[in-house]
A and B are shown apart, each in its own frame.
Chain A
Amino acid sequence: MVRVRLDHVTKYFGKVRAVEDVTLDIAHGEFVALLGPSGCGKTTTLLMIAGIYKPTRGRIYFDEEDVTDLPPKDRNVGMVFQSYALYPHMSVYENIAFPLRLKKLPKHEIDKKVREVAKLLKIDQLLDRKPSQLSGGQQQRVALARALVKEPDVLLLDEPLSNLDALLRVYMRAEIKKLQKELRITTVYVTHDQVEALSMADRVVVLNEGRVQQIGTPDEIYHKPANTFVASFIGTPPMNLIPCEFTEDKQYKLVCSGFTYELPEDIGNTIKSGLTTSEVYLGVRPEDIKISQPGEPYHAEATVLVVEPLGRDVIITATVGENTIKIIADPLTAQRIGNEIKIRFLENKVHVFDRKTGKALI
């Protein structure tokens, strides 16, 4: 168990920028997820922590030790690859025992540890098989066992669940989280699946195009997105971003296509202080838009475009002025295509982003 610190880490492949200026502090036993679309540099970051890639600039520390120039074998990290990367010519037992054999541990101790970890991961009946004789889920457990058997200081997981079927994925999500909490190993988990990141991690690092967009708890990431990228990347469906104009005459207002949203004085002041131009996005999560009953107050009028029932909720796609928004509504509202509805934003859940910089203003 160590504290992992990335200090202004940058990685270029030739002229291609993979990771730019990532600074990150991962505490003892913390579970951090690196989240982002493919090609955002999350796996590169992970491989730099593992020691496979060397950063072009910046340093990496395990506790106070600078490990930037250490080869992977001297870092005591365990890693699970997306492809599992099991050694096909070795049995499951040999696969798990491999890191211990390289450490030249005595035979009986290797045997004890292999059986222990195999039992922990419920693969003790598979030890004699070859990786090719295992299902995807079993292979994944073997890969996890191989990473854990050496009692690593840091556990690195590179999209470990992406090759599993949906049901198994949900199950393994909980399993891995439970295991991590039991063993208290500092863990870095790379995923492009926001559900995995939000549900498993203590903290989430959102990356895009090699840069850190936001670091925060799952709650913060979801409820206080730092910029439009995070807002539109997190959530299914993601946050609605409605282009508006920020104005102030008697009152602070957002003038949007089809409606005008009035802002309270204090919030208006906060926005004004951070603004570069008057062009902003009004951001509202689909679940924070309510359909008003007749007679209730409302912010805008909309026309229903598509209705997608999902059982527990209904996703309604509607047009407001020139923009299209998504609303998560109660199935009981029974909307139909073409219906004219009145919608209300939950005031304390409304976000405003600077359209030029993308930064959140409130």
Chain B
Amino acid sequence: MMNRIGKSISEGISRISSTTSRIFRKNRARKYSRTRYIISKLLKYIIVIVVAVIPIIPIWLMYGWMIAQSFSGKVISGIIPVDLTLKNWRFLWSPIVMGYKEYPNIWPIVLNSLYLSVGTAMLVVFVSGLGGYALSRMEFKGRTPLMQFILALHAFPSIVLIVALYVILHMLNLYGKGFWTLTGILVIKAALEIPMATWIIKGFFDTIPWDIEWAALVDGCTRFTAWRKVIFPQVLPGVAAVAIFAFLAGWSEFIMVFTFITREEWYTLPVFIYYLIGEFKFIDWGMLAAVGLFYAIPTIIFFALSQKVLLRVYVGGIKR
């Protein structure tokens, strides 16, 4: 790679030098156009850098700060770390005291978060996988209006529904019930994600030729086994996409947990981080950075793992 770049650079230089010498000897007008060419090219790069690179710098700086902060005793002028330590990560193994509250460590909170986000993802995949198939493959009365209606559902932000959801949870006797409230939030989260997820997966089902499904039926499948063994495995990229979105939606859910969960042992990470800021008189920035980083890890892992699935597109075996 480097070799190739080096080679092309040296080629380019030699080409430029040979042309410039020729230009010097012969044609002043052409030299002028040459400089203009270089300037216009330079300008393009400057614009690209300004638009695409510079805005990323603060983001990277923030991540850099977070990483540096989480591993150091203190930082000089907010960015240069000194005093390498793991003290900020103590929440992983030792009790966390926040005012009157005390947690044995962070893991119960992590489990709550995982329960909410993995549960949401699973429920979304299950419902949208079947719903998307039905919308894509089955003819029934009112299919188009139903699809439009489903899309319209997605238009509501969950915050609009929060009072209504409170009433519903209360009526279902799910308010302030710890685990069951969290499950209630899980169902609500899934319900909010399902419309869009169904649409996304329907699009993936649409691309599968009927031949494949018919082949499965002829080979001895019922419609359901054909879905399970032949059709569903082929929409895995779509399922992965939907699962990631649902997972992240659950993982980052704040307002509903904040509003509906009354017992702190059932908090999830976003709410926990909020109280980490809110209840300390002196904010422990080091720990906050470490928890923040910790909070981002599953997201990073999930993306890293599923990227492959997202990019994998089956090409063979279908020629129509």
Which A residues fall within an 8 A CB radius of B? 47, 50-52, 71-73, 77-79, 81-89, 98-99, 102-103, 130-134, 136, 139, 146, 150, 156, 163
**A131 interface neighbour in B216, B218, B230, B317, Cβ under 8 Å:** B317
The closest CB in chain A to the CB of B211 belongs to A85
**A81 interface neighbour in B211, B222, B225, B314, Cβ under 8 Å:** B211
Q: Given contacts A52-B214, A88-B317, list 16 more A-B pairs with CB under 8 A.
A: A51-B217, A71-B222, A72-B217, A79-B214, A79-B215, A83-B209, A83-B319, A85-B214, A87-B212, A88-B314, A102-B221, A130-B316, A132-B317, A139-B319, A146-B219, A150-B219
Shortest distance between the CB of A97 and any CB in chain B (Å): 10
Could you jot down 15 A-B contacts, CB within 8 Å? A73-B218, A82-B211, A83-B318, A83-B319, A85-B317, A87-B215, A87-B230, A87-B233, A88-B316, A98-B216, A132-B314, A132-B316, A132-B317, A133-B316, A146-B219
Residues of A within 8 A of B229 (CB): 98
Task: Confirm or deny: B315 has a beta carbon within 8 angstroms of a beta carbon on chain A.
Answer: yes
Shortest distance between the CB of B142 and any CB in chain A (Å): 17
Let me know if A81 and B215 touch, CB within 8 A.
yes
**A133–B315 alpha-carbon span in the complex (Å):** 10
Let me know if B233 and A86 touch, CB within 8 A.
no
Residues of A within 8 A of B218 (CB): 50-52, 72-73, 77-79, 156
Given known contacts A81-B211, A87-B230, A88-B314, A102 and B319 CB-to-CB distance under 8 angstroms = no
Task: Confirm or deny: B25 has a beta carbon within 8 angstroms of a beta carbon on chain A.
Answer: no
Shortest distance between the CB of B103 and any CB in chain A (Å): 44
Which B residues fall within an 8 A CB radius of A? 209, 211-212, 214-222, 225, 229-230, 233-234, 236, 314-320
Residues of A within 8 A of B318 (CB): 83, 85, 88
- What is the interface of chain B mostly: helix, strand, loop, or mixed? helix
Residues of B within 8 A of A139 (CB): 316-317, 319
**A136–B230 alpha-carbon span in the complex (Å):** 21
Let me know if A89 and B314 touch, CB within 8 A.
yes
Residues of A within 8 A of B212 (CB): 85, 87
**A83 interface neighbour in B211, B222, B314, B315, Cβ under 8 Å:** B211
The closest CB in chain A to the CB of B226 belongs to A73
The closest CB in chain B to the CB of A47 belongs to B214
Shortest distance between the CB of B229 and any CB in chain A (Å): 8
**A73–B319 alpha-carbon span in the complex (Å):** 25
Shortest distance between the CB of B317 and any CB in chain A (Å): 4
Residues of B within 8 A of A77 (CB): 218
Residues of A within 8 A of B211 (CB): 81-83, 85
Shortest distance between the CB of A44 and any CB in chain B (Å): 12
**A156–B219 alpha-carbon span in the complex (Å):** 12
The closest CB in chain A to the CB of B230 belongs to A87
The closest CB in chain B to the CB of A142 belongs to B317
Shortest distance between the CB of A122 and any CB in chain B (Å): 19
Let me know if B319 and A71 touch, CB within 8 A.
no
**A229–B218 alpha-carbon span in the complex (Å):** 33
**A88–B234 alpha-carbon span in the complex (Å):** 8
**A82–B317 alpha-carbon span in the complex (Å):** 11
Q: Which 8 A-B pairs have the closest CB atoms?
A: A132-B316, A131-B317, A86-B317, A102-B220, A85-B215, A85-B211, A88-B314, A99-B219
Shortest distance between the CB of B155 and any CB in chain A (Å): 34
The closest CB in chain B to the CB of A98 belongs to B219
The closest CB in chain A to the CB of B208 belongs to A88
Let me know if A102 and B225 touch, CB within 8 A.
yes
